[in-house]
Structure 1
Amino acid sequence: MWYIDIFEQLEELRNPARAVQMEAYMRNQFSFLGISAAPRKAVYQKLFRQASKDDIVDFHFVEACFSRLEREFHYAGVDYLLAIQSNLSQEHLPKVKECIMKKSWWDTVDGLDGVVGCLVQRYPELKNTMIDWSLEDNIWIRRVAIDHQLLFKERTDTDLLGKIIKNNLNNTEFFINKAIGWSLRDYSKTDPQWVAKFIEENRASMSPLSIREGSKYL
């Protein structure tokens, strides 16, 4: 198992005092080793870049990451998928979906937005899957459906974005309404007129949070 050394190096960087702070920030939902992002990523960045060049896709590694207790291992799994996303095919989307649903919270879920978005860009037929995801019971799957086009800019499929958001209007879930606001705010940097029109047409069904976030740059 090529990744054992990664796990050992992360364990060696354990910082109990910092772990307490990180756990508190995440509302004590997860245990932490206490490693900040830069030294954590320094442990595996070169290996992940090489894996991408070698056309490797190792979901056993990702599963091993999420099987560990501390959150830094989960971050490593997400960072791996981001690093090798160009090697993924549409057949891998169910595996990515499993990752979204494992020990879910905004930090890992939002990290996987880019992985899903990359797949949808390469395989446009997955747009229908995103519409399906936008109707799922799992709020994290729906959140990724809403936000998977973040940073797409002029490549954004506004018909798809509009349909997905409308499937999640009249919602009381904070993480859904926040995601709606973020998706609109991000796209407003590219097409503020479209976002302003969408908000005006759907204002009665949108949460104040979504409107506030979506209108930030208008």
Structure 2
Amino acid sequence: MSDYIEKIAACFRANADRNKAEAMEAYMRGQFPFLGIKTPERTKLLHDFWQTNGVPQGEELLQAVRELWLLPEREFQNVAMAHLDKHVKRADKLHIDLLEQLVLSKSWWDTVDYIAAHLIGRHLSKYPELITDYPDRWIESDHMWLRRTAILFQLKYKGRTDTLRLFGYIERCKEEKDFFIRKAIGWALREYAKTDAEAVKRFVASTELSPLSVREALKNV
């Protein structure tokens, strides 16, 4: 473990709260241990840590992300994603491979959704030529979280959304029983409805979706 990671781990563990951790672990269905540091506190701790220690750059930052991802407490995966936010504008094409690895590791909705909509979405906006090699492959994957990522990566695209691709991905997954896929379908459609509600209504009317997906898609229409 690098000196940087040892320092950041010590900083966060010194602020652990077992009572809050138990509630957070229960909310996440016992998927991961927690330190008990909620988002506002975590954000401030990290900001103060960076003020004192600086933010690593380039490969050092990416190595810090990899090391943070290996730490057991869930807060450290959130801290890793905050580091990745600092790297988005500088990332080269191959950065997508690290993001894919993170989707596949310690997978749950809290990290996958942020990586999909914020990190991968921004990366593929910068390098759209990667879409055919990554999301188009993910939607065919046996790994549910990769399929969810493919459905959600355009979540913030608004008028830039490739609707043929989005609707095609949903057609591909519409018969799935998995809650997280059905929820992702509804969420993606609900978000795009803010841009083109009529297109979403037409698609929902002509496509046999689960009641959950329909309810989510049309919630604000």
Normalised to the residue count of structure 1, the TM-score between the two structures is: 0.92
Aligned equivalents of 1:26, 1:91: Cα separation in 2: 31
1:12-27 to 2 correspondences below 5 Å: 12-27=14-29
Q: Could you tell me which residue of structure 2 aligns to residue 145 of structure 1?
A: 150
- Does structure 2 conserve the Cα–Cα contact (< 8 Å) formed by 1:23 and 1:30? yes
Q: Deviations over 1:20-54 (max 9, x none)?
A: 11111111111000001111122223639x648x5
Deviation at residue 183 of structure 1 after TM alignment: 0.2
Deviations 1:109-151 (A, max 9, x none): 1110211001110111122121111111111111111001112
Aligned residue identity for 1:134: I
Structure 2: 5+ residue stretches without partners: none
Equivalent-residue separation in structure 1 for 2:163 and 2:26 (angstroms): 38
Which residue is equivalent to 1:177? 182
> Identity percentage over the alignment?
35
Q: What is residue 85 of structure 1 aligned with on the other side? A: 88
Pairing of 1:97-176 with structure 2 (within 5 A): 97-113=100-116, 114-128=118-132, 129-176=134-181
Q: Please report how far the alpha carbon of residue 4 of structure 1 lies from its aligned counterpart in structure 2 after TM superposition.
A: 2.8
Deviates more, 1:172-181 or 1:1-10: 1-10
Secondary structure (helix, strand or coil) at the match of 1:112 reads helix
RMSD, aligned CA:
1.8
Code of the residue aligned with 2:120 in structure 1: it is: V
Which residue number in structure 2 is paired with residue 34 of structure 1? 36
Contact persistence 1:32–1:72 (CA under 8 A) = yes
Q: TM-score, normalised by structure 2?
A: 0.91
Report the counterpart of residue 65 of structure 1 in structure 2.
68
Q: Which of these residues, 74, 79, 83, is aligned with residue 76 of structure 1?
A: 79
Tell me what 1:45 maps to.
47
* Structure 2 SS opposite 1:90: coil
* Runs of 4+ with deviation above 4 angstroms: 54-57
Aligned to 1:96: 99
Deviation at 1:19, TM superposition (A): 0.5
What is the CA distance between 1:159 and its match in structure 2? Answer: 1.5
